[in-house]
Chains A and B, each alone.
Chain A
Amino acid sequence: MAIETESDLGSEDWDEILEPNAAVFNLRLREVWLYRDLLYLFTYRDIVSFYKQTILGPLWFFIQPIFTTLVYVLVFGKIAKLSSDGIPQILFYMSGVVLWNYFSECFNKTATVFRDNAALFGKVYFPRLLIPLSIVTSNLIRFAIQFGLFLALLVYFVAIGEVTPNAWALLLPLSVFVMATLGLAFGMLFSALTTKYRDLIFLLQFGVQLLMYATPVIYPMSQIPEGISGVLAWNPLAPVFELTRLGFLGSGTVSIVGLIYAATFAVVAFLISTVIFNRVERTFMDSV
Chain B
Amino acid sequence: MSAAIRFESVSKRYRLGEVGTGTLSHDLHRFVARLLGRPDPFALVGTINDREVADGFGDGSSDDVQSDSAGGETSGNVSGGRRAKRRNDYVWALKDIDFEVPRGEILGIIGRNGAGKSTLLKLLSKITAPTSGRIKTKGRVASLLEVGTGFQPELTGRENIYLNGALLGMRRHEIRSRLDEIIEFSGCAKYIDTPVKRYSSGMTVRLGFAVAAHLDCEILVVDEVLAVGDAEFQNRCIGRMREVSAGGGKTVLFVSHNMGSVRSLCRQGVVLDRGELVTMAPISDAIRDYFERNAGAETGAHWHGTVDPTAAFAVEHVSVVGQGQPSYDATDQSNVISPDEAFQITIRYTVGKPLPPMRVGFQILSGEGPVVVEAYDSDAPDCRGPRLPGRYCSTCTIPGHLLSPGWYYLTLNAGIPHVENLFNQAGVVKFRIHESELDRAQRTRRSGVLQPCFQWETKPS
Contact = CB atoms under 8 A, between A and B. Distances in A.
B167 A38 contact: yes
A16 B129 CA distance: 13
Most B CB within 10 A of own CB, among A40, A123, A196: A123
A200 B227 CA distance: 40
B185 interface: no
A49 interface: yes
B14 A19 contact: no
Contacts of A226: none
B149 A52 contact: no
Interface in A1-54: 9, 12-22, 34-35, 37-38, 40-42, 44-45, 48-49, 52-53
A287 B149 CA distance: 21
B129 A20 contact: yes
B15 A15 contact: no
8 pairs of A and B residues whose beta carbons are closest in the complex: A125-B126, A38-B166, A282-B129, A14-B136, A18-B135, A37-B172, A123-B149, A123-B146
Nearest to A287: B19
Interface residues of B, number: 48
Contacts of A285: 122, 127-128
B136 A17 contact: yes
Contact of A41 (B15, B134, B162): B162
Nearest to A125: B126
A44 B163 CA distance: 10
A283 B167 contact: no
A130 to B, nearest CB: 10
Given A16-B136, A125-B143, 18 more contacts: A15-B139, A18-B129, A18-B134, A34-B169, A37-B172, A38-B167, A44-B159, A120-B150, A122-B122, A123-B145, A124-B145, A125-B125, A125-B126, A125-B127, A126-B167, A196-B27, A198-B20, A287-B15
Contacts, number: 114
B125 A197 contact: no
Given A37-B172, A197-B23, A120 B3 contact: no
A121 interface: yes
B130 interface: yes
Given A20-B129, A198-B20, A45 B138 contact: no
Contacts of A37: 162, 166, 171-172
B188 interface: no
Nearest to B7: A18
B23 A196 contact: yes
Contacts of A42: 163
A272 B24 CA distance: 21
24 contacts: A9-B6, A12-B3, A17-B134, A17-B137, A18-B123, A19-B130, A20-B129, A20-B132, A21-B129, A35-B166, A35-B169, A37-B166, A41-B163, A45-B155, A49-B155, A120-B167, A121-B127, A122-B127, A124-B143, A124-B150, A197-B23, A197-B24, A287-B19, A287-B23
A19 B128 contact: no
A48 B15 contact: no
A6 to B, nearest CB: 10
